[in-house]
Structure 1
Amino acid sequence: MFVATKLPENTKVSGWVQMLPKRTPNPSLSKSINVDVAIIGAGFAGLSAARRLSQCNPKLRVAVLEAGEIAAGAAGRNSGFIIDLPHEVSSDEYAGSDAGPTRRHIMINRTAIKLASDVAQERGWGKDVFDPCGKYNIAMSAQGDEHISSYAKQLDALKEPYRLLDSRQVADVTGTTAFTSAIFTPGTVIVQPAAYVRGLADSLKGGVNIYEKTPALSLEAVGKEWRIKTPEGAVTAGKVIMANNGHAESFGIYRGLLMHVFTYASMTEEFSPSRLGGDRSWAATPAFPMGTTVRRVRGERGDRILIRSRYTYNPRLKISENDVERAGRVHDRKFDARFPTLKGVQMEHRWGGAMALTWNGVPAYGEIEPGLFAACACNGVGATKATALGIAAADSILGIKSELLAAFGQFEAPKSLPPQPFLTIGAKANLGFREWRAGKE
């Protein structure tokens, strides 16, 4: 039996959620039900798995259990990048002469983008929710410029399209002279993550039912089935997908294999577009890993700037309001350095969100026990990797021999983390060093 030792806790509400109209949650589970597949977690992974299952076999009975409300958790706290190419321009993983592993990652990412694109087309979303606009990697220093140049060479080897921008051209896009260079790649999709996840949930058809405010308390193998207990009901399922990322460890699954890191974001109040030149909607990741992600978000009444930065190790899977406020002070300095013409514009929303990392950067994926599947550990690329993991978990259950499933099968297993207290000491030191190394970026 797997018993949850803790339930998800969210500190503050993300700006993405607060920008949306209020919604009525789906009812909680209040009785015992029998289904073919139960999915624990209604984020990118869980909802993508449910969509894939219902598309391939509309007759399947699928129950999705969400501990909170749709988009209140990590998915709705995401920065909204569904990437096709890697974020980290300096990663050795993508720099070698063997392009096989890189191509595998790109295929996985583009499979996620395909699902998201299909949902967007079905729902008739505008660019405020789903924008296939590409993304920029932006530098603020000579060191960042070097990483941009290195990344361009890697893309040449992969024959992937890109466009290099000098400081003047970056200013034409961003409206600020703070950046020194950039590289634009066209394949990334930018989403309003809370709106996307809500819409993905609403798109599910057939035999899929979502139960909100219904945390899984325990799961136990009973013969060839699994029984999941919830506060007011129970689910008996032939198959179960753990799509709850780091909280899989709360059930004792992948114990000692997942590192729990939180990252933080701040979003400004709306400001007049006349105060900042350039494009009114763009998205940029930092040239240097662990740097600062920036988005300009276009709105009907004005625009906003999103700043995402700061990383903390939180093995208890929760953060405090003080953690968010400390990160916010860093965000304020980064905002001022990048957008001096927006002096006086205040931050309206601040929040943090959880990530689950493995020591060797691989997903925590596969059939753990007969009928029990995991789609966890997105390693900081939640919108993309979680979506793909959910699809792959569904393919495993359906018996589909997909290219995606084969790609995930080539990853090695997650490696054990160092024992405590060395893990905490090492994780905090490593995060601090990497943030220091990112410098101005």
Structure 2
Amino acid sequence: MPRTSNEVFVASRLPKCAGVSGWVATLPSRRPHPALHGSSTADVAIIGAGFAGLSAARRISRLDPSVGVAILEAGIVGEGPAGANSGFIIDLPHEVSADDFNGESEDRFRQSVLIQRSAIALAMEMAVEYGWGGDIFDPCGRYSVAISPEGDKHLTDYAARLSRMGEDHRLLSAGDIAAVTGSSAYTSGLFMPGTVIVQPAAYIRAVADGLNEPIRLYEQTPALSFERFGNGWLIKTPQGSVQAEKIILANNGHAESFGFFRGQLLHVFTYASLTEEFDPSRLGGERKWAATPALPMGTTVRRINTTGGDRILIRSRYSYNPGIEVNDAAIVRAGHLHDGKFVQRFPSLHGVGMQHRWAGAMALTRNHVPAFGEIARNVFAACGCNGLGASNSTASGIAAAEIALGHESELGRVYARLAAPTALPPQPLTTIGAKLHLAYREWRAGAE
């Protein structure tokens, strides 16, 4: 079939992992799906098998089980940014207290809730269908925790706004949150029951391995380029190709590697450390909980219980990396910060070391909207997670699948109303501004 245009999009770089995620390292080995060899055809090709790509495939299968889907994953499922996630599929926005709660901000709040609860609904549907246990999927809610007077005030203000919106929540005193976390460092807490907590690598694996024909997943199969071919697209991979009518680009910041959203995406990494197993009797409180910080860019903490003991996850530190990769030295530097935060919060665990450290990539936009929509004829983007990958990427994947198949929904209408990402300042102003902004936000977070 002859080409009908000169539309060609070539990847300028391929994804690279930033350390080995502790979520992956603590799972049993898994046999990847085979790489693509030779030529293949599909109705829809999805580039990327993270939260967005797999959610898009799942949604397509529910809208029309006859649609053939080919998913191209550059690496191994769960070992990319999705498996480096902290595992919070949240249902309520992190921040509302910075604004006066006028009509406009109430609308934004409800819009965020719709997006995030659409993600939870999809995940819940799969958890029921596949019979996932709490080791993969746990609708246990989340805590937001404070460690300073400013954090306490933020939680109090946020709780008042949740009350006005009719959202279930519970404020906790220092003693209450100590009874949960086993830490006397926290000065207050706020519990929100609607969040789902997942083991992100196990979750992504389970979604991928639960897909059936006519959905085909090809791992270790990066998309090197795609070009207009007849009435559709031809995607070239190292050892094969896929001809598809439509493409869903679900590779977050790497959409820019194909030339899309240039000058609109901020590539930011966040860092995490996971302790070795310790005797649960060394730390009081509940043996499983998950907490986000009261102030933006503070410290996320999770306690995970396993058969061999318990572990603590610490996530903190952000860096701007326009090349979409970080080196080992950056992970080591972030690890030193994590060690201090761990000791501050859990002095009873003195001597418990960190066993795994890693970084995860995010793609942010200046005006906090996704990089979404039809970006070329029959090419749909579900990118720009803006830091809530498990929630926002899942919802973007759902919405991209719906618009690709012409299905109308309230979620799709919300995405259709969103503004496009705004342009970033020219270099080097973007780099200078991004680094200063991240440093300022981390300074503002302080001990949090």
User: Where on the TM-score scale, by shorter chain, does this alignment land: which range?
Assistant: over 0.9
Q: 1:96 and 2:102 equivalent? A: yes
Q: Give the match for residue 129 of structure 1.
A: 136
Distance 1:106 1:373 in 2: 23
- Runs (4+) off by over 2 Å: 88-92, 94-98
Contact 1:89-1:288 at 8 Å conserved across structures:
no
Q: 1:71 and 2:71 equivalent? A: no
Task: State the percentage of identical aligned residues.
Answer: 59
Specify whether residues 321 and 385 from structure 1 end up closer, same or farther in structure 2 by C-alpha distance, changes over 3 A only.
same
Contact 1:90-1:289 at 8 Å conserved across structures:
no
Give the letter for the 1:355 counterpart: M
Q: Give the match for residue 367 of structure 1.
A: 374
Give the letter for the 1:96 counterpart: N
Of 83-92 and 267-276, deviating more is 83-92
* 1:143-162 equivalences in 2 (<5 Å): 143-162=150-169
Q: Give the match for residue 339 of structure 1.
A: 346
Q: Is the partner of 2:65 in helix, strand or coil?
A: coil
Contact 1:89-1:148 at 8 Å conserved across structures:
no
Cα drift, residue 89 of structure 1 = 5.0
Cα drift, residue 337 of structure 1 = 0.5
Q: Give the match for residue 248 of structure 1.
A: 255
Q: Give the match for residue 147 of structure 2.
A: 140
Output one character per residue of 1:88-112: Cα deviation in whole Å (capped at 9) or x when no partner: 35443x8434422211110111110
Output one character per residue of 1:191-237: Cα deviation in whole Å (capped at 9) or x when no partner: 00000000000111230000000000001112320111100101110
Specify whether residues 95 and 290 from structure 1 end up closer, same or farther in structure 2 by C-alpha distance, changes over 3 A only.
farther
* 1:375-386 equivalences in 2 (<5 Å): 375-386=382-393
Q: Is the partner of 1:201 in helix, strand or coil?
A: helix
One of 307, 314, 317 as aligned partner of 1:310: 317
Q: Is the partner of 2:201 in helix, strand or coil?
A: helix
Q: Give the match for residue 304 of structure 2.
A: 297
Q: Is the partner of 1:164 in helix, strand or coil?
A: strand
Cα drift, residue 11 of structure 1 = 2.2
Distance 1:138 1:431 in 2: 21
* 1:286-435 equivalences in 2 (<5 Å): 286-435=293-442
Specify whether residues 97 and 419 from structure 1 end up closer, same or farther in structure 2 by C-alpha distance, changes over 3 A only.
same
Q: How many residues were matched structurally?
A: 440
Distance 2:201 2:345 in 1: 26
Give the letter for the 1:44 counterpart: F
Specify whether residues 91 and 248 from structure 1 end up closer, same or farther in structure 2 by C-alpha distance, changes over 3 A only.
farther
Gaps of at least 5 residues in structure 1 are none
CA RMSD of aligned residues (A): 0.9
* 1:184-203 equivalences in 2 (<5 Å): 184-203=191-210
One of 236, 240, 245 as aligned partner of 2:243: 236
Output one character per residue of 1:22-77: Cα deviation in whole Å (capped at 9) or x when no partner: 11111111111111000000000000000111122111110000000000100000
Q: 1:31 and 2:43 equivalent? A: no
Contact 1:54-1:206 at 8 Å conserved across structures:
no
Distance 1:349 1:371 in 2: 41
Distance 2:361 2:17 in 1: 9
Cα drift, residue 122 of structure 1 = 1.5
Contact 2:314-2:338 at 8 Å conserved across structures:
yes
Q: 1:258 and 2:298 equivalent? A: no
Q: Is the partner of 1:51 in helix, strand or coil?
A: helix
Cα drift, residue 267 of structure 1 = 0.4
Q: Is the partner of 1:13 in helix, strand or coil?
A: coil
One of 85, 105, 108 as aligned partner of 2:112: 105
Give the letter for the 2:229 counterpart: V
Output one character per residue of 1:391-432: Cα deviation in whole Å (capped at 9) or x when no partner: 101101111111110011111110001110010001000000
Q: Is the partner of 1:266 in helix, strand or coil?
A: strand
Distance 1:96 1:177 in 2: 36
Give the letter for the 1:59 counterpart: S
Q: Is the partner of 1:393 in helix, strand or coil?
A: helix
Distance 2:252 2:358 in 1: 19
Distance 1:402 1:304 in 2: 41
Q: Give the match for residue 164 of structure 1.
A: 171
* 1:77-88 equivalences in 2 (<5 Å): 77-88=84-95
Distance 2:360 2:103 in 1: 35
Contact 1:30-1:233 at 8 Å conserved across structures:
yes
Distance 1:100 1:427 in 2: 28
One of 274, 286, 291 as aligned partner of 1:284: 291
Distance 1:417 1:224 in 2: 34
Cα drift, residue 341 of structure 1 = 0.6
* 1:214-225 equivalences in 2 (<5 Å): 214-225=221-232
Q: Is the partner of 1:254 in helix, strand or coil?
A: coil
Cα drift, residue 154 of structure 1 = 1.1
Contact 1:228-1:234 at 8 Å conserved across structures:
yes
Gaps of at least 5 residues in structure 2 are 1-7
Contact 2:96-2:109 at 8 Å conserved across structures:
no
Give the letter for the 2:165 counterpart: L
Output one character per residue of 1:115-134: Cα deviation in whole Å (capped at 9) or x when no partner: 10111112211111111000
Contact 1:285-1:293 at 8 Å conserved across structures:
yes
Contact 2:78-2:201 at 8 Å conserved across structures:
yes
Q: Is the partner of 2:413 in helix, strand or coil?
A: helix
One of 120, 123, 129 as aligned partner of 1:116: 123
Q: Is the partner of 1:24 in helix, strand or coil?
A: coil
Distance 1:398 1:45 in 2: 16
Contact 1:89-1:147 at 8 Å conserved across structures:
no
Q: Give the match for residue 210 of structure 1.
A: 217
Output one character per residue of 1:301-358: Cα deviation in whole Å (capped at 9) or x when no partner: 1110000000000000000010100000000000000001100000000000000000
Q: Is the partner of 2:108 in helix, strand or coil?
A: helix
